[in-house]
């Protein structure tokens, strides 16, 4: 059991460095680079944790990890006052189903059409799970902050009206 936990931690550290490498490629500097790499590390940890202890559905695990990465990116955006994509792109990098895309193309080149289609559909579902997780969090945070702004404007208007 200890090996499983150690494996989670080691793989999360690998994800940190892979996100760090892509952050350098994207020319992210300073504390934003560290936090965007941390976003990738924690997102991959959530994926591994959920796949080992919560659910065996790979799509659900990708969905859960992308929701966490999106939430973490939104929070970092507000705290560090940086663009959302700085954190979101580096955070999503460890989740990208590149291996699945490679094996889809490999089976396609071998002439294994059925296997290629199966792997291709699975890859598309994984990418869709990531996209839906990002979309949901983005929509809810936009709705939350616009509602909050609207309510504060109403309260300010009522205070101004009572003073006059």
* Dist CA 88 CA 66 (whole Å): 9
Give the residue among 104, 112, 3, 93 at the shortest CA–CA distance from 52. Answer: 3
Q: pTM to 2 decimals?
A: 0.86
* Dist CA 57 CA 81 (whole Å): 35
Mean per-residue pLDDT of the chain: 92
Q: Looking at residue 141, what is its pLDDT?
A: 92
* pLDDT above 80 (res 164): no
* Dist CA 100 CA 62 (whole Å): 13
Question: To the nearest whole percent, how much of the chain has pLDDT over 70?
Answer: 98
Tallying the residues shown for the chain, one arrives at 164
* Dist CA 111 CA 131 (whole Å): 30
How far is the first Cα of the chain from the last one, in angstroms, to the nearest whole number?
A: 69
* Dist CA 45 CA 33 (whole Å): 18
Q: What is the helix (H) or strand (E) element at residue 28, kind and residue range?
A: none
Q: For 32-81, how does the pLDDT look when each residue is reduced to its tens digit (9 = 90+)?
A: 999 999 999 999 999 999 999 998 899 999 999 999 999 999 999 999 99
Residue pair 69/78 in contact (Cβ under 8 Å)? The answer is: no
Sign of the alpha-carbon dihedral angle for 133, 11, 97, 117: negative
∠ CA 103-108-109, rounded to 5°: 100
* pLDDT above 90 (res 140): yes
Q: Over the Cα atoms of the chain, what is R_g? A: 20
Give the residue among 63, 83, 33, 81 at the shortest CA–CA distance from 137. Answer: 63
Q: Looking at residue 55, what is its pLDDT?
A: 85
* Dist CA 18 CA 41 (whole Å): 9
């Amino acid at each position: 059991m200890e090996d499983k936990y150690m494996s989670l931690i080691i793989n999360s550290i690998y994800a940190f460095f892979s996100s760090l490498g892509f952050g350098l490629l994207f020319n992210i500097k300073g504390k934003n680079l560290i936090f965007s790499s941390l976003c990738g590390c924690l997102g991959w940890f959530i994926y591994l944790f959920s796949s080992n202890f919560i659910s065996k559905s790979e799509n659900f695990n990708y969905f859960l990890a992308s929701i966490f990465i999106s939430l973490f990116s939104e929070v970092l955006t507000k705290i560090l006052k940086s663009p959302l994509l700085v954190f979101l792109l580096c955070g999503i990098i460890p989740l990208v189903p590149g291996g699945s895309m490679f094996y889809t193309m490999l089976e396609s080149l071998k002439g294994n059409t059925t296997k290629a289609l199966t792997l291709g559909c699975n890859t598309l579902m994984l990418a869709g799970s990531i996209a839906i997780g990002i979309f949901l969090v983005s929509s809810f945070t936009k709705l939350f902050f616009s509602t909050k702004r609207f309510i504060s404007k109403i309260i300010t208007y009522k205070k101004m009206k009572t003073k006059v």
